[in-house]
Amino acid sequence: MGTINALTIYKDLPKLNCKKCGMLCMPFAVELMKKTKSLEDCPPLMEPKYASNLEKLRALLKPMEDATDTGIVLNEDVCDGCGVCVIACPVNSRFSPECLSGKAPQVPVPEDIIYVLEDGRCRIKSISQCRRYVPPKTNCRICEIFCPRYAIEIKV
């Protein structure tokens, strides 16, 4: 699976800039990426003449269905529970300094911790403080880069 960006989405929109979705086509592509709009919000795209565009866009956006609001997809079947993401994510360290020294988050686990291990697998506990989400947003990809099993993918 590759990275999805607004330009790739835009390419297959009707590009009429008719604002029937409430905005121009490019901002609409961005909203699709953020999952705040759906393909059905573009009436022209539902017309038969755009059927192949619709099909392509549905296939393109499919991986986003399982993604967090910040575009993270965690494949629990591939994860081997190594815990690298737990100690590498800067948000985990911020809310539980134990992670900075390579340990599991303190107990009870703070509410805003992102990655935790449960039953030998990684789980996303909360995404509300992810640096990709909280202003000033950054293009943080630390968890994706450091996961040795490629179990974490950031789709946007």
The rounded distance, in Å, linking the Cα atoms of 21 and 24 is 8
The rounded distance, in Å, linking the Cα atoms of 56 and 51 is 9
Residues 28-47 that bind ligand SF4 (CB under 6 A): 28, 42-45
Spell out, one character per residue from 45 to 84, where the chain touches ligand SF4: x when CB under 6 A holds, - when not: x---------------------------------xxxxxx
Per DSSP, 11 falls in state H
Bond before 136 cis per omega within 30 degrees: yes
Q: Is 9 in the site for ligand SF4 (CB under 6 A)?
A: no
The rounded distance, in Å, linking the Cα atoms of 64 and 142 is 19
Q: What is the dihedral of CA 86, 75, 35, 130, to 10 degrees?
A: 0
Site residue total, ligand SF4 (CB under 6 A):
38
Spell out, one character per residue from 85 to 114, where the chain touches ligand SF4: x when CB under 6 A holds, - when not: x---xxx----------------------x
Residues that bind ligand SF4 (CB under 6 A): 13-14, 16-21, 24-25, 28, 42-45, 79-85, 89-91, 114, 122, 130-132, 140-143, 147, 149, 151-152
